[in-house]
Structure 1
Amino acid sequence: MTTINPIETRPLKPLFLSYLFPAMVGMLLMSVNILVDGIFVSHGVGPTALAGVNIAVPIFSILLSISLWIGMGGATLYSISFGEGNKKRAHQIFTLAFTVMIVVVLTLILLLLLNLKEISYIFGASDATYPYVQEYLHVILIFGVFYTIENLLSIFIRNDGNPKLAMMGLITTSVINIILNYIFIFVFNYGVTGCALATALSTIIGMSVLCLHFFRKQSELRFVRNFFSISDLKKIFSIGLPSFIVEASVAVMVILYNVTFLHYLGSNGVTAYAMVNYIHTVLLTVFLGIGMALQPLVSYHHGARLVTRLTALLKIGTATALIFGLTTAIIAMLFPSQLMALFGDSTFEIRNLASQGFVHFAIGYVFLGINMVYAEFFQSIEKIRLATSIMLLRSIILFIPTLVLLPKILGPQAIWWTFPVAEGITALLIYCYIRKRPQTFSSSSMLNQKN
């Protein structure tokens, strides 16, 4: 006898909200860890150290991108398998994703540690900032595998019907990180090393909280022996590719922004962008949280062939993203100086440059959420080419030429317009595609096509 999962019959709006709040809070707190690092370093060490940590963030983002790539790819297949009623395959996919991620991350960390100085300078370090980059990354990389495990577990636990525990694990990490940052920087005077240690130790504690899920009676996460499958591995990497592009492109965009600001506005421009980027990192994860909430529900309904509820979920996700996008842009435009004041130890010139730039930069949030929702939706129903195209458009194909051309044509201040222009054009192209090809959302298309 086949039992019907409550997820198939529960009203969609309350169902979505039950995933949205924990996902957004969890992702927000995950990014707050990076923001907290910036605030404590800025106040406790200085603006040069802040610039150094910001240069190190893209390397940190590479580790996160690996865990998102394998985690989102695996979790999507995991939920689809449950929607199809195939628990055995779901267990195999979880074990495969976890094992492969550990191997990939450990290999990457070793390569980064062996070539740390060269990579740091490629990413925008200078003789003044490199000591801080090295100090921060040396600790972060040694403990980096725990950070990726925490992220992968939170994704799978959310897909296993326990979004609240996924949120609690990340809340624990964030709170402990704030406490340890204060102790290590202001009490023990450990500087940037203390900041990195706070991040590493809080991550281990948060990961331990997530492991409580394995003792839950309703838990379906299982490690099994016979798990390796080349076809499943290919699907994990294929489905997770858009998530990898999201995070990996963050690293690329930060590097390109750093290089461009350094060229046009010098070290003051780099520091001003570092301040804006810390705020942006937090806001970006809010929009990622909307996609994270959508993914388990869309993947399950896709596996269960519930197309009417799928299209309704897309509408709910799009409306939510638009509301958050408009609200975020308005707040950022009304209170830019107050947001930049979080980074206290900087000159008036730098704070003014960052505040004025953020007013223009923030317009991009109106379009960012919509782009994220559509990419996540297509990824969750295995239309990988569409999802990948959206992510490449906003982060590489449109971003790079816009970043190169705008300051040349309109002057250095136009650098801040790169983000809203790239996101806005991407959203317009999505709209045109939907108008031109409405069959993309037909029942037969969503059930049968995977690319």
Structure 2
Amino acid sequence: MDESKELETQSVGKLLLKFSIPAVIGMLVNALYSIVDRIFVGRGVGSLALSGVAVTFPITNIIMAVGMLVGTGAAAVVSIKLGQKKKDEAEKILGTSYVLTIIMSIIVTILGLIFLQPLLKVLGASAETMPYAKQFGGIVLLGTVLQNVGFGLNPIIRSQGDPKTAMITMLIGAVLNLIINPILIFGFKLGVVGSALATITSQAVCSIWIYKYFTGSKSALKLKKENMKLEKSVIKEIIAIGMSPFAMQIAASLVTITINTNLAKYGGDLAIGAYSLIMSIAILILMPVLGVNQGAQPIIGYNYGAKNMGRVKKALLYAVIVNTCISTVGFILVQLFPTEIIKIFNKTDLKLIALGANGLSIYLMAFAFVGPQATCTNYFQAVGKAKYSMFLSLLRQITLLIPLILILPHFYGLNGVWRSGPIADFVSSVITFICIGYEMRILNGLGNDAAVNSCEERAKLSV
């Protein structure tokens, strides 16, 4: 039986487990990319190198934003198309997303390398951290295509009903990165250059693996030459939905720039390094949440396309419950053991440890709300309602967090930067819950037999 058929016939709870567990494992492993880099750089090179690498995070976010713009948008549209029994159109989306990913990644590489040094200055690189930032950022930019082919197409594997392969893809890259990183940093004494090379090498292997998958016999959707072209209508569908995670990643870059500027002013280079550790921990906790969201996305999208509204609501409810538990457990751990967690990255620099532990406990004070908020935002993306998804994605980062970062340090100094996080988390969560409550009332009114606009019509309404 076609694996995608299970999305409308199997128990929603079993489906969520089937799709989420591999996705959670894959996302956790994927988080190891940045965490492994920071652990080995922090221990093998030093605190200033760690801060230099941290300065490049907005560049990494921009690279990921391109992959998410195409990959996440394409995955959501593919799920809906499969629910509508339109396999040929799903394959057109796959082919277009492959070409679009490569073209956009090349553009990012060229522009990034041309403007690398002035960009790093804007991002907060000091005279001491600039050499490390240039080395790491330059190599990562060279690997943009390698990263985004794998990162961008992997969600489509999951959308067609093959979560195990999507997980294996992430495992391959992360395990390779874990092996190569210490060899290049400690064995060959390459420092941050070795860390960056390990990252893009492992990503290259993932991209090759995914290309082989979509051109081989295992994939239900095939990457065909005749579909490797840029069709305006297909691009519009992909971007309409993918614009939300893209904007969220760009917003994350703007937040990082704003935070780094204030951290440099109120805490210096070490505060920037401490923030990078805080974000590593936050990302590690958030990855299971995103994994559950990725598991729920094809279930919600397929059944929305198939007009099975009862299954849509049930998948959303289960995902909200699971992700609330995950983010609550994460909140409890960082509040109980902030110092011990920071010491994983650096055991010797007492000032860095103190800055990181204090910032961690404050910045993630409202983290319990992040799980359900992210899940509700993911729902709007999964059903093709790009306007809602975009609004909720940007709400925390742009509307709330950046103004708070600019205002609170004037009154509370460095702690003002940390306090901006929980305030933005809480307020954005309340607004998101109001929006999803209204959406559920609409679904209750529709019922299972109500007509749902086609994906194309949804895209037109939401842009």
**Is TM (by shorter chain) over 0.5?**
yes
After TM superposition, the score normalised by the length of structure 2 is 0.92
Who is 1:140 aligned against?
140
Alignment partners' CA distance in 2, 1:224 and 1:305: 32
Q: Which amino acid aligns with 2:116?
A: L
Query: What TM-score, normalized to structure 1?
Result: 0.95
Aligned to 1:296: 298
1:27–1:286 Cα contact (<8 Å) kept = yes
The Cα shift of 1:290 comes to 2.1
Tell me the amino acid that sits aligned with residue 377 of structure 2.
A
Q: CA deviation at 1:9?
A: 1.1
SS at 1:363's partner residue?
Answer: coil
Give the aligned partner of residue 172 of structure 1: 172
Per the alignment, residue 195 of structure 2 pairs with 195
For 1:434 and 1:56, how far apart are their aligned partners in 2? Answer: 35
Q: Does 1:124 align with 2:128?
A: no
Q: Is the 8 A contact 1:92 1:224 kept in 2?
A: no
What secondary structure sits across from 2:408 in the alignment? Answer: helix
2:44 alignment counterpart: 44
For residues 320-351 of structure 1, the C-alpha deviation after alignment (integer angstroms, 9 at most, x for no partner) is: 11111101100111111111001225521221
Q: CA RMSD in A?
A: 2.0
How do 1:308-327 and structure 2 match up within 5 A?
308-327=310-329
Q: Structure 1 67/443 Cα, relative in aligned 2: closer, same or farther at 3 Å?
A: farther
- 1:393-432 equivalent positions in 2, closer than 5 A: 393-432=395-434
> Does residue 223 in structure 1 map to residue 228 in structure 2?
no
Q: 1:345 to 1:434 in 2, by over 3 A?
A: closer
Partner of 1:17: 17
The answer for the alignment partner of 1:283 in structure 2 is 285
Separation in 2 of the partners of 1:106 and 1:148?
Answer: 10
Going from structure 1 to structure 2, the CA distance change for 1:77 and 1:177 (only over 3 Å counts) comes to same
Matched residues in 1 for 2:247 and 2:119: separation? 20
Unmatched segments (≥5 aa) in structure 2: none
Contact 2:286 2:327 in 1 (8 A): no
d(CA) in 2 for partners of 1:98, 1:51: 34
Q: Following the alignment from structure 1 to structure 2, what is the Cα–Cα distance between the partners of residues 169 and 4? A: 20
**Counterparts of residues 206-355 of structure 1 (less than 5 Å):** 206-214=206-214, 215-226=216-227, 228-344=230-346, 346-355=348-357
Q: What's the offset of the Cα at 1:4?
A: 8.8
Structure 1 residues 327 and 268, CA gap change in structure 2 (3 angstroms): same
CA drift of 1:437 comes to 6.4
Q: Which residue of 1 aligns with 2:383?
A: 381
> Contact (CA 8 Å) 2:42, 2:345: kept in 1 or not?
yes
Residue 59 to residue 199, structure 1, CA distance change in 2 (3 Å): same
Calculate percent identity across the aligned residue pairs.
Answer: 27
Partner of 2:161: 161
Q: Which residue of 2 aligns with 1:71?
A: 71
Q: How far did 1:30 drift?
A: 1.2
What are the ranges of 5 or more consecutive residues in structure 1 without an aligned counterpart?
none
1:223, distance to aligned residue in structure 2 (A): 2.0
Deviations 1:200-254 (A, max 9, x none): 1111223333344332345223324155431221121111111112322222222
Whether the aligned pair in 2 keeps the contact of 1:42 and 1:345 (CA below 8 Å) is no
Check conservation: 1:276, 1:354, Cα contact below 8 A: yes
Alpha-carbon displacement from aligned partner over 1:144-166 (angstroms, at most 9, x marks no partner): 21110111221111112111111
Q: Find the partner of 1:447 among 446, 449, 452.
A: 452
